[in-house]
Chains A and B, each alone.
Chain A
């Protein structure tokens, strides 16, 4: 059993970010040198995951790291500072930082022109920062992690950080024609204009993937200082002029974006994490944002915790607990949420710090109470015994009849992929795509996944191709869904359960596949009808059909079924000897006969 076990393929697809933190620094911050097992246990209880402890692999003076997977919505934990803060509070060793704003000293004016390309901006200043190599690296890493996760590869939000002492406010955020933007980008000496910068970074492994965000826009967003010195060209690059270093004392942060909420979360996260390193701890200098054209003028960042109410009964009821408001408040404190019983004694007033942008609803508060209480301490109960009667999906019952009868008749079941190439579904079967049946994929990574199958035949033929060395004849079947376009329904396509069986060997074996069809129809109370004589009974028969090019001329037929005495007969599928060109296309050196029918008619 592999460690990844059952959920190798995740369902929620959270793409959990992994953060590497300095092991010694973290344990120092937590006030205890944990064994790997102890730390693993702490992570498990809190809901993060210790992915790797690099102590064993470290060479020379390399410092051991802990690689920690964090939940995709905890942006505050994308760096050392946030992980240490969260765990310390969980352990009861720390309280929420008391962020303070000083008086603003500068402004950032957002021009209306930015609406054309990237309308939102936020800014803040961190003063008297003392970076050391590790905290500096952490600051850079946090920006990278935010860029890839919350900022969706800079499409939604981008961050620029600058040495404030090289530039001078007030600042403006404008959208200019590329040729009017001239500066030397980060770590470059040559001054280039917007178009030249795009060209310059086209081959850059790292930056090239962001160019598309603004490249074709008539105007590019740009942050300028008082002297119209370019600070940054978001979301691509900062200027070399204002670049920060280990020695930078005062940091000017610009955040620009197309998503207002996320722009705000990013500036809040950055200042919450790095005001740790300010001369006055947790002191932030706000920037006055002037954005009159859209009513977004404000003092930025907003560091006020959000007040929210949570019903005590709701929390207790969800968790099957009977805790007082104060007891719940005590639990929430471990999760960075300050809570007290509100004026309405049935509710808690919860103050949600800027670090906890993931709290959207009282259910998120309830979950935090559950984590602090410990999932594994919650009393296990049985859901109330409502008498519920189970039942199977009717089409699955029909399918099981076909599957069991086919296997009893000596055929082996396969489970093919439902995605296949366009050729496999059409050309290889000598069929023309009329664009009326098959669902086509927009973005497959390989040609193997171009369409959803409209017949079970490609999967069966590919299975035979892969099993050519098997003893002959090869007899296989599949009972599975095909997908057909249907414009009249909301989802524009439906599944149809089909049954298909094939025999392949030295001879075509048509009589055997015909006999198998007969056997299965018998199982479903449909006997063979002599179609040369008038008959109105329930039953089935086959009629020659030379339209279907998948079969050899004169050796293909339609399968007809009449469900009730006197009822109308319907064509439910086809049967025949496969055309030699079909066998050639699938690289099968045998003759084969095939039958496929829609089994939903037996519902």
Chain B
């Protein structure tokens, strides 16, 4: 604390300190203790300081000897002058370092010459000891203006370079010669006791991430599902009871006019059950008979598929291959009290597919169904624009497609700006009249339907390339914990 006060007083005296090393009041302090005290003062916002590195030449032991006794060459010259007839070469070595090192320099300086076996002086009197002069300068200032000589001295291992650290200290606008302790945090006590207003607080480092809360999280697929649900709700759609994974071939296929030999009904494509193996006939036997007739000999203006329809095949149990099995059952119920309605579901469907990065044996289907009197294909197209528009997908195009239970059937395309091409975003169509009429729905109550998968938009939204890392146990919990909100309006094309 004394040192901090000394610093403050010194800064106050000089207004600022350019370099503590050159400041008589501060130069003698240990550099580490100076640094910690300066930091402490800085954190109290009293001063600012910066490190100043200075190059400083220091004398090595031999140089210190020179200062006392003169340089080797001067001392050697003195020896030569002392011996009246000259110095015998054989005596040079007796002089130790002075002889060995001084002789060469004295020669080089042109002070001595050789006469037979003797060395004689060429000068009358001993010249100024320039080496000692330079060393003195270095000792006093740590520097030498003559760079050539500096190099020479360094070469002679008389001096070495040190970097020494000092600090430049300036005042802040809160400078005062008084030390106030800074608080790290506002505490409840300060608030209760009204102490906060007297305190000074340490500045914050805002360039940091903070401590994240420990929290739970929702699955991204369910987040996107919720977005779709909200779109449906906003357009007046009621959620279907799609919680029925197991169904009979009757509801999954026959009611939807998928013939019993259709490839979709292959073991290769559909999961059949071995337990339970056979379902019951639908409650409405007349309806079942109608379905049979539509397939077998045609009815309601259809010539039918004209093949022997088998009850056995119809009652085989399957894992539903589409949520349209539920839609069919809902439309059948609608026949009890036919009226316009809007229904949707987002739920799981099952396909006996080889699993890869884009295919799973189970995934989610988003499905919408809309019944209305004399509803038209133009309505379907217009409605699709509204529906996809709510996800920010505009400018749709429609392509004819084939689907056993809808006619017309249309694939929905949107233009992808980055890929610069039209991409398929869903399927849609008008349910076939013979399918609806066999349920007992009036002829002019038409039904539109459309569907897409939940996984694809989610994979795009969350940049997941492998569906197995989204649905199922191979998901990374870190991914679940850190994924952002699902905003469909900032997604897609």
Contacts and interface: CB of A to CB of B under 8 A. Distances in A.
A64 interface: no
Contacts of B222: 403, 413, 415
Interface in A409-450: 409-419, 435, 438-446, 449
A6 B457 contact: yes
A349 to B, nearest CB: 14
A260 B307 CA distance: 7
Given A319-B377, A415-B221, A375 B408 contact: yes
B374 A490 contact: no
Nearest to A10: B427
A375 B400 contact: yes
A360 B302 contact: yes
A577 B145 CA distance: 82
A8 B474 contact: no
Contact of A485 (B276, B305, B351): B276
Contact of B426 (A6, A15, A474): A6
A366 B408 contact: yes
A413 B238 contact: no
Nearest to A72: B402
Contact of B403 (A9, A14, A259, A320): A14
Contacts of A477: 216
Interface string B380-416: 0111011000000000011111111111111100001
A409 B340 CA distance: 42
Interface in B432-490: 432-434, 444, 446, 448, 451-453, 455-457, 460, 471-478, 480-481
Given A6-B426, A491-B246, A441 B272 contact: yes
B407 A364 contact: yes
A319 B410 CA distance: 13
B400 A46 contact: yes
A304 B298 CA distance: 20
A12 B361 CA distance: 15
A35 to B, nearest CB: 15
A497 interface: yes
A281 interface: no
A343 interface: no
A418 B347 CA distance: 12
Interface in B246-276: 246-248, 251, 261, 263-264, 267, 269, 271-276
B456 A8 contact: yes
Nearest to B214: A410
Contacts of B238: 388-391
Nearest to B405: A12
Interface stretch (A26-34, A248-256, A460-468): A460-468
Interface residues of A, number: 116
A229 to B, nearest CB: 33
A320 B471 contact: no
Interface centre among B455, B473, B477 (most CB of A within 10 A): B473
A276 B294 CA distance: 35
Contact of B279 (A3, A490, A494): A490
Interface in B128-175: none
B378 A378 contact: yes
Interface stretch (B41-49, B113-121, B317-325): B317-325
B471 A415 contact: yes
Contact of A443 (B271, B355, B379, B455): B271
Interface stretch (B2-10, B29-37, B184-192, B362-370): B362-370
B126 interface: no
B218 A403 contact: yes
B240 A3 contact: no
Given A388-B341, A407-B217, A491 B247 contact: yes
A6 B452 contact: yes
Nearest to A461: B473
A475 interface: yes
Nearest to B393: A6
Given A391-B239, A395-B243, A491-B244, A413 B273 contact: no
Contact of B236 (A3, A73, A389, A407): A389
Interface stretch (B82-90, B200-208, B417-425): B417-425
A167 to B, nearest CB: 31
Interface in A348-394: 358, 360-364, 366-367, 370-371, 375-376, 378-384, 386-393
B261 A152 contact: yes
A463 B471 CA distance: 11
B282 interface: yes
Interface in A269-310: 306
A381 B275 contact: no
A320 B477 CA distance: 51
Contact of A360 (B219, B303, B423, B451): B303
Given A363-B433, A395-B243, A411 B216 contact: yes
Nearest to B240: A393
Nearest to B247: A491
B456 A5 contact: yes
A495 B320 CA distance: 12
B237 interface: yes
B98 interface: no
A412 B220 CA distance: 11
A258 to B, nearest CB: 9
A13 interface: yes
Contacts of A358: 402
A44 interface: yes
Contacts of B237: 388, 390
A450 to B, nearest CB: 10
A445 B352 contact: yes
A317 B376 contact: yes
B439 to A, nearest CB: 15
A412 B480 contact: yes
A521 interface: no
Given A6-B457, A463-B475, A445 B354 contact: yes
B425 A439 contact: no
Contacts of B398: 375-376
Given A47-B399, A320-B378, A414 B475 contact: yes
A548 to B, nearest CB: 23
A492 B475 contact: no
Contacts of B474: 466
A493 interface: yes
B196 interface: no
A40 B144 CA distance: 84
B335 interface: no
Contacts of B304: 360
A439 B453 contact: no
Interface string A470-481: 100011110001
Contact of A413 (B218, B235, B455, B456): B218
Contacts of A260: 306-307
Interface string A14-54: 11100000000000000000000000000010110100000
A258 B135 CA distance: 117
A318 B376 CA distance: 5
B430 to A, nearest CB: 7
B287 interface: no
B461 to A, nearest CB: 10
Interface of B: 214-219, 221-222, 229, 232-248, 251, 261, 263-264, 267, 269, 271-283, 298, 300-307, 317, 319, 321-322, 324, 340-342, 348, 350-355, 358-363, 365, 370, 372-379, 381-383, 385-386, 397-411, 416, 418-419, 421-427, 430, 432-434, 444, 446, 448, 451-453, 455-457, 460, 471-478, 480-481, 492-493
12 contacts: A12-B409, A319-B377, A320-B377, A360-B304, A361-B300, A361-B433, A375-B408, A384-B375, A393-B242, A414-B477, A442-B267, A491-B246
List 7 A-B pairs, minimum CB-CB distance, nearest first: A47-B400, A71-B402, A462-B473, A407-B216, A388-B236, A380-B382, A320-B378
Given A363-B407, A390-B238, A465-B473, 13 more contacts: A1-B460, A8-B358, A73-B402, A360-B298, A362-B301, A367-B408, A376-B398, A378-B381, A413-B218, A463-B475, A467-B476, A491-B244, A491-B248
